[in-house]
Structure 1
Amino acid sequence: MNSQEFTLSGSVRPQSIDELAPSLSLLKEAIDRVRGVLYLNVRRLAQMNNVAFHAFSRIIVDACRMRPDLKFVVVTSSVVGWTTRKFSRLSKIEPNITVEEYDSAFYPGQSFLEEGGFIPILRTQTKMTWRHERSILERHGMRPGISMADICCGIGDFAMLVQKEFEPARIVALDHSRSSLAYARKVAEEFDVRGIEYTYGDASEMLLDDDQFDLVTCRHSLQIFNRPDLILKELLRICKPGGRVYITNEKNSHCLGEPRAESIQWTYNEVAKLFEHFEMDVELGPKSRRYLAEAGFEDIRVEQFMVTNLDGDPNDFADVISAWEDVYAGDMAAKRGDSPEFVKRFRQGFRDHIYAALHPKGYAGWPIWAASGRKPS
């Protein structure tokens, strides 16, 4: 067994088949070497005309017919939807050709957090964290007139706050959730917010050019991907040399409250374990420096701030915790198969956190790490 991968990316639009001779020769060599599966990776294939499609298809189909032992897997992405539709034709011709849309399962737990019912709480969370981040951002590369990308932008509220407060020359806001982007565009239109380019895309394989943004932000997102290193690699790629990448992440086991601290502490320790079950790491915050260093950044800056019930209306804090309870002790716990006894105790910790937030002498906190690194010149 000797599987191989052959990758096509960018724009492949030849006027004649002769222009493809070097690429077709490489594909034939890969087929000759493979014993098992040949993966044809077209995740970043932005354009392909019929001349190119038929030339590559002919070689693949002929190889299947000459070597029944050989299997082809065409790896596409939902971000470039036409590739899945176009290459699926081959699987109808030859049973040894299959098409896999790799990002359909890339974010194993994100569906719990990205759909419409969670939108109101995402807005409240941003409102609470913005009080802190507004001053922090200037120490991490934010300034008027820059070109900025907000990756994993969610419902787009952070990008709108930045646009209003700092007036960058350009903001590209990208996310993998169509429903979140639809909401972001709707709100931007209603409030006549201009200058933000909302775009659908996969943060681990973006169709954005290299070296084009002065500042790239990615907030509360690395912690819900099972391969944060892939995301950071892409953030580094699209950042200009000398520009900065800014990330925020949490450490949920450090959420705290008084009174009823013990119950609260137990529940948030269990939150970390729950997310780990779904291949997410809500303990990532303090690891930010290591992740940035390993990705190749320099001049790494790390700050930690605590969002509390004293940041404005304590009912906002309580609303956030209530939403966490609904999702974490609801859909996620059910999906993991937790017992009714566990769920009852799990829910109690959230409710005690709300109690601490609303108590006239109480204190409740949610810790966040903000970090950034400079792309080497």
Structure 2
Amino acid sequence: MIAEKTTQAFQWTYNENDQEFALHGSLRPQNAEELSGCISELEHSVANVSGKFYVNVRRLVRMNNVAFQAFACKILDLVHGRSDLNVHVTTSSVVGWATRKFAVLETMSDKITVSEYDSEFYPGQSFVEDSEFIHVLRTQTKLTWHHEKDLLRKHGLKPGMQVADICCGIGDFAVLMQKEFSPDRLVALDHSKSSLDYARQVAADFGIKGIDYVFGDAADMLLEDDQFDFVTCRHSLQVFDRPELILKELFRICKPGGRVYVSNEKNSHCLGEPRGESIQWTYNEVAKLWHHFDMDIEIGPKSRRLMLEGGFEDVTIGSFMVTSTDGDPQGFADVIASWKNLFAGKMASERGDDAAFVERFAKGFDDHIFAALHPKGYAGWPIWVASGRKPL
């Protein structure tokens, strides 16, 4: 059972099944009495709970000292008065002040714990946030854009819409959408500060206006419900260990009748000739490597099922192949080389792979590059695209 209460500035919910009390929005009361209803609901929620009680402040965007003192004192009172109760406060690294404030409670009682929700949620974040990977991401977007600009139209993107690009990375896809479709509003959100810094610098250098770059957690965005006509999220569900949570947030911020557009890979279907057998072996191993880090680079064809299970209707799915014959074979080869450096380098090392495996693993990427650049060769990288409509 989920109970929910709302005031003008903030909301609170209680999920009985999860024993979780969540605060949302902006808590800036002039005095503690203004919070009496919320505090009373907190006390009522705890009354029938034993064991661990969760207080979720991940989407609390503001909180003044009056509010913090009121809630901190109440949480301390609860654990002091109940031998059978422990309280766990969940914050988000996106809202840095919350962790700093609530961490004080851990020093005041060993029955209170505080953790950042997203510190372990993104198992591959350290890999994709590497600033050295930025030029690779730009090349990848160049290779996919001439396919996607037509696909975006087919999936419903039109000029003048309210658009969000979630997990925007270095922001180049948002820039291309801005130029091609002239949205009325475009919000680009990502969890990587280095990527967003790069995106803002590019926008400033090239005089690109109209894109609002936002630092945020895609699984728990500080964006209001039902805002956007069209929401994109590219090559990102495959990075998260619980993609259904991302889809839930994409669904939430999309307007009823609007569409969510996602693209993902099935890396084991990368191909090339000559030397196809070596290439195939390596990309099968890529899938296993990502699985080791709780990521799924095979998720592409699963997108339809995930969207239908997430409540979307009119789900459309298809795929396209980026190839070495699309334009610049060297650009394609550069992308493969970056994959080799990341997968057969940093990721394989962290998994603890031995030298013999890494040598064979790396050779498959070299052979894929050979196929891409060979005058009679061919190399391909498949991508699945799906979109679904949020019901009216």
CA 1:365–1:3: 2 relative to 1, 3 Å: closer
Shift of 1:286: 0.7
Task: State the TM-score, normalizing by the size of structure 2.
Answer: 0.93
Equivalent-residue separation in structure 1 for 2:372 and 2:82 (angstroms): 67
Give per-residue Cα distances to partners, 1:326-374, cap 9 Å, x unaligned: 0000110111111111111101110000000000000000000111111
Give per-residue Cα distances to partners, 1:167-191, cap 9 Å, x unaligned: 1111100000000000000000000
> Which of 222, 232, 235 is the aligned partner of 1:207?
222
Shift of 1:81: 1.2
1:210 partner letter? D
> Which of 159, 165, 187 is the aligned partner of 1:150?
165
Partner of 2:266: 251
> Which of 285, 294, 301 is the aligned partner of 2:316?
301
Equivalent-residue separation in structure 2 for 1:166 and 1:7 (angstroms): 38
Shift of 1:7: 1.3
Q: Secondary structure at the match of 1:164?
A: helix
Task: Say whether residues 1:339 and 2:347 are aligned partners.
Answer: no
Equivalent-residue separation in structure 2 for 1:63 and 1:292 (angstroms): 41
Alignment of 1:14-53 (within 5 A): 14-53=29-68
Partner of 1:176: 191
Equivalent-residue separation in structure 1 for 2:277 and 2:375 (angstroms): 19
2:104 partner letter? R
Equivalent-residue separation in structure 1 for 2:19 and 2:261 (angstroms): 36
Q: Secondary structure at the match of 2:382?
A: strand
> Which of 333, 351, 357 is the aligned partner of 2:372?
357
Is the contact made by 1:109 and 1:224 (CA closer than 8 Å) also made in structure 2?
A: yes
Partner of 2:131: 116
Task: State the TM-score, normalizing by the size of structure 1.
Answer: 0.97
Give per-residue Cα distances to partners, 1:182-207, cap 9 Å, x unaligned: 00000000000000000000000000
Equivalent-residue separation in structure 1 for 2:41 and 2:289 (angstroms): 45
Equivalent-residue separation in structure 2 for 1:264 and 1:334 (angstroms): 20
Tell me how many residue pairs correspond in the alignment.
Answer: 376
- Provide the identity percentage: 65
> Which of 111, 114, 117 is the aligned partner of 1:99?
114
Shift of 1:284: 0.7
Equivalent-residue separation in structure 2 for 1:272 and 1:291 (angstroms): 19
Equivalent-residue separation in structure 1 for 2:31 and 2:187 (angstroms): 36
Partner of 2:251: 236
Task: Say whether residues 1:193 and 2:208 are aligned partners.
Answer: yes
Is the contact made by 1:71 and 1:97 (CA closer than 8 Å) also made in structure 2?
A: yes
Task: Say whether residues 1:262 and 2:277 are aligned partners.
Answer: yes
Residue segments in structure 1 that go unaligned for 5+ positions in a row: none
Q: Secondary structure at the match of 2:218?
A: coil
Partner of 1:314: 329
Equivalent-residue separation in structure 1 for 2:212 and 2:268 (angstroms): 36
Give per-residue Cα distances to partners, 1:115-169, cap 9 Å, x unaligned: 2010010000000000111111101121111110000000000000111111111
Partner of 2:92: 77
Residue segments in structure 2 that go unaligned for 5+ positions in a row: 1-16
Is the contact made by 1:3 and 1:34 (CA closer than 8 Å) also made in structure 2?
A: no
Moved over 4 A (4+): none
Q: Secondary structure at the match of 1:79?
A: coil
